[in-house]
Chains A and B, each alone.
Chain A
């Protein structure tokens, strides 16, 4: 079955340190990959996506993600974390262009002041 996994329920990072939120996927073909963020009491907001081309994708709020086909991963990164980055992050994959999107279970990111 096609799926996306976020192996960490929660990630704690000190403010100013680099952060990584992990995502791996299991789909056939060439998937489209997305990251969304959910702030408290808000809907999900799009952060970035990988469709094709450069494996390093840059998105909103200074976030970036690296597509690694051999490891089937799409980890979210930021060089220097801010307290305001604390939120729930969802990785999502669309297996093929006509398939529906599949969401991971989410990773709660806590940035400690």
Chain B
């Protein structure tokens, strides 16, 4: 089954404790992206990757890191989480963005709470 998976689905942590949210897709998509969803703000892009070893900042990259060592995986790293990073996070993938017509496939989301 074609899908985007995220782990964990739920996470409660404390300020300053490094964490990683994994994202994996099995559709051989070049493009992957991370979003955060907050009430009243909709979806905001954190980072995206056009292909392996190619990543770029989205609209709200502060406090986050990503890596793209393999095509299928795109982990989101919070080196020192803070309470303002409490949010619902979504990973998404799509075929080459240059095509322009390609829709994104979303993971189920990770609800993160930073105390």
Contact = CB atoms under 8 A, between A and B. Distances in A.
A106 B92 CA distance: 17
Nearest to A98: B98
B42 A44 contact: no
Contacts, number: 55
A32 B101 contact: yes
Interface stretch (A12-20, A45-53, A69-77): A45-53
A97 B108 contact: no
Interface of A: 9, 32, 34, 36, 41-46, 49, 51, 90, 94, 96-98, 100-101, 103-106
Interface string B55-84: 000100000000000000000000000000
B92 to A, nearest CB: 8
B43 A103 contact: yes
A49 B101 contact: yes
B109 A43 contact: yes
A38 B4 CA distance: 15
Interface residues of B, number: 25
A44 B109 CA distance: 9
A9 B42 CA distance: 11
Nearest to A34: B103
B100 A98 contact: yes
Contacts of A100: 33, 45, 48, 58, 97
Contact of B42 (A34, A94, A104): A104
Contacts of B40: 9, 105
Nearest to B9: A41
A98 B109 CA distance: 26
A90 B43 contact: yes
A97 B100 contact: yes
B97 A98 contact: yes
A43 B101 contact: no
A39 to B, nearest CB: 11
Nearest to A47: B103
Contacts of A9: 40
A101 B69 CA distance: 23
A44 B106 contact: yes
A43 B23 CA distance: 13
